[in-house]
Amino acid sequence: MSAEDYRRLVGVLETVDHASDLPEFRERLVHALRNWFGFTGVAVLHGDTLFEAIQQGCGVQGGYTPEFTAEYEARWAATDPLRTPAAAELILARGVARLVEIAPDSPFIAKFLRPNGITDKAAMVVDGGPSGVLFVGMAVTDAPRVPERDLAVLRTLRRLLAPLVVDQLDRDRDRRAATANWQLTPREWEVADLAAQGLTNRQIAERLFIGVDTVKKHLSRVLAETACTSRTQLALRFAAA
């Protein structure tokens, strides 16, 4: 790798190294990958398994327009090639893979991504074993496919990220165990996390690839389950958890 490649690695690692919790780690990773690699859009998802992480979409994204995310949810989420068991198996085997190699003839690419200016996506997994899995999807617009150089750097990055990811996943699991009396679904946890950080319903919808009305339903359930009467109280409860 070149000196520039090493600067990119160090830049990403320095950005995420001191994240206080998993939500902050995910946000920092989205920002770092867009800043140091130039990816147009980045999604960071997590779960007990890779297929679960991709299917349930627990995580955040950045760089996509509200119109893009709305169209994705309404028309294309069910046909996203990355959300299949076969894709998950291939990504796990390779660590990092291109979408154009996973599904070269997919209408998802030809009829959705390319009309929106996206030519390819890189899919990266950081496997934390019993701690869980972190999945990162990254979109490119300035090349026919993700460059080989970027793939090589990402393969090194995933190895360097592994201990940080395991630590964050374990700490997040411990935090949730401490509030086991809150019977929240994974998606409700995501909405609660972002609401506690001060994001509006629309901002939460854009981060999670869901509609504003869906956010409102999840948030109402979260407030009822946590016995909170406002977002401010929810933030205080989360800070104390």
**pLDDT over 70 (residue 241):** no
Please state, for a pLDDT cut of 70, what percent of the chain lies above it: 97
What's the CA gap between 132 and 118, in Å, rounded? 29
Give the chain's domains with CATH numbers. 3-171 (3.30.450.40), 186-240 (1.10.10.10)
Read off the pLDDT of residues 163-206 as tens digits, 9 standing for 90 and up. 999 999 998 888 777 666 778 887 888 888 888 888 888 888 87
For the stretch 111-121, pLDDT in tens is 999 999 999 99
Given this model, what pLDDT does residue 59 score? 80
The pLDDT value given to residue 41: 93
3-state SS of 166-232 is: HHHHHHHHHHHHHCCCCCCCHHHHHHHHHHHCCCCHHHHHHHHCCCHHHHHHHHHHHHHHCCCCCHH
Mean pLDDT of 137-155: 95
- Identity of the residue numbered 79: T
Q: Distance between CA 104 and CA 102 in Å, rounded?
A: 6
The predicted pLDDT at position 122 comes to 97
